[in-house]
Amino acid sequence: MEEISSLVARKLATMVEFKNLFHIQSKRKAVTALFPYAVRRERDGEHRMIDAFLDAARTSGSTTHLWDVIRPFIPTLFDQACPRTVVLTSPHVPWHRELHDGNAVARWAAAASAPPYTEGIGQSVVDTLLHIASIDSLRPQIPVGIWTWLNKRPSLPPVCFGRTIGTKRNVIRRVRELGDTEILKSYFLLVWSEWDCISGPAALVEMQISIQEDFSGIGLRHYRRNLVEQLDHVLEELDRGSGYLKQYKLWIDDGYVELAKKQYKKLKEILLEVDKEALKILTRTLSTLTKPFRCTHHGGHVSGSHSTFACALPLLCP
């Protein structure tokens, strides 16, 4: 059995290296039959087989249906697999079916903190977090601490199911309820993407309300700037058209591009309005505070009632 698994692992590695999707498809039955064995081997310290499978699944994307075939085995992962395997396979878990319980969420969250951080680990955790958060019955089971993974902001791939369904209104509200502006900003930076629209009018309105309530004020201008920069990037990518985007996500069409542009332009408009209003408030505040004071200079020194404070106020404008 070990010789067979080593042979399959070597063949898979070669297919992945040359991106031979046809051969990966032709070997999928052999690969998936060995998946439970690969899980056990990794638990014993041998990573080649499970790494070969994960590389093949990542390379082939949705074209070979490797995940569909091994899903019957996935519920046992939380009892048998190493934390690393749990994390890397968790984006493909049918959370709304076989693992529709809070214990699985807690075990997944515990596994997420075990392996050393890599970009792949970060992608898997964030993808899974957004997926779980989209399920009303599972969302309350998410440990508060796991939301800080959003601040790592890994680069999510074009096809990312968690991001696709992770902009529902209830998800946005939950992130807002955390009361952490940094996490909320990271969340928006992750889900605002040329690869996905916002999940409907209600979600778009919730995002607009969040911008107006959570990112208003003088002190949050740098947050607003980060968000505007992300929206500019997304809109620039959308301007490349569906012909370019569908190379990486096959089901994107012109209708998708137009809807996404409309949504993201609206969010940018709201952000700019909030920023403009904050600047007005800052200008009025500075004008009111500096009006009673007069700054005079004597030999390089500033004098006058509270003159140092008054002259320094303009420097507060970000």
| Beta bridge partners of residue 297, listed in sequence order | 302
Helix (H) or strand (E) holding 301: strand 301-303
Helix (H) or strand (E) holding 303: strand 301-303
pLDDT digits (tens, 9 = 90+) for 117-169: 999 999 999 999 999 999 999 999 999 999 999 999 999 999 899 999 999 99
Per-residue confidence (pLDDT) for residue 99, from 0 to 100? 55
Reference 127, options 104, 95, 83; nearest CA is: 95
pLDDT digits (tens, 9 = 90+) for 7-29: 666 656 665 554 555 555 666 66
pLDDT digits (tens, 9 = 90+) for 222-234: 999 999 999 999 9
> Under a CB-based contact definition with an 8 Å cutoff, are residues 84 and 115 in contact?
yes
pLDDT digits (tens, 9 = 90+) for 241-286: 999 999 889 899 999 999 999 999 999 999 999 999 988 876 766 6
